[in-house]
Amino acid sequence: MSADDASPKTIGQKAWIAARFVLFGLIGFWVMLGFTVAFALRVFDHDQHTVSSFLSLPLAVVGAVMMLYGVGEWGRWAYLWVFLSIPISLCFCLCVPGAENSEESPVIFAALAAFFTYAGVQIYYGHRVREETVEDDRIP
């Protein structure tokens, strides 16, 4: 497949990609982040005025799946780890002594987790593509 085949051809396709990104990607990000914060408040601060922790975690995963569809990577499930690494790292950041006093540490934790997870996923999919290419070459 050439680069021309992968790019959208019509204005309608381009509009759908933009709408999908806004409706699913951005909203999914806020859903994931919001319910992760609700989970953290419920677990770490014992705030009884937030959503149940049994409901907030599945809704955070739903937000991550929405992001996966919004960025056009549906079916490449390893990318969920990239999205979920952000809230997981923020929860770990709450467990580190002294990290709650710093304004930069949550951002650094989340950025490093997302970066290294993304690199790992890229290696994983690169390895899979190379294996499929080798198998295609073997078939007569």
pLDDT at 23: 93
Output the pLDDT for position 73: 84
In tens, the pLDDT along 17-50 reads 899 999 999 999 999 988 888 888 887 777 777 7
Q: Which residue, 134, 2, 20, is CA-closest to 66?
A: 20
Judge if pTM exceeds 0.75. no
Domain ranges of the chain: 1-75, 78-140
* Spatial separation of the C-alpha atoms in residues 76 and 125, rounded to whole Å: 9
Q: Which two tokens stand for residue 86?
A: 């952000």
pLDDT in tens, the chain (140 residues): 444 456 667 888 889 989 999 999 999 999 998 888 888 888 777 777 777 878 888 898 899 999 999 988 888 888 888 888 888 887 787 777 777 677 787 888 888 888 999 999 999 888 877 766 655 556 65
* pLDDT score at 36: 85
pLDDT score for 135 = 59
Return d(Cα 43, Cα 94) in angstroms, integer.
11
Rounded CA-CA distance 59/63 in Å is 6
Distance, CA of 106 to CA of 127 (rounded, Å): 31
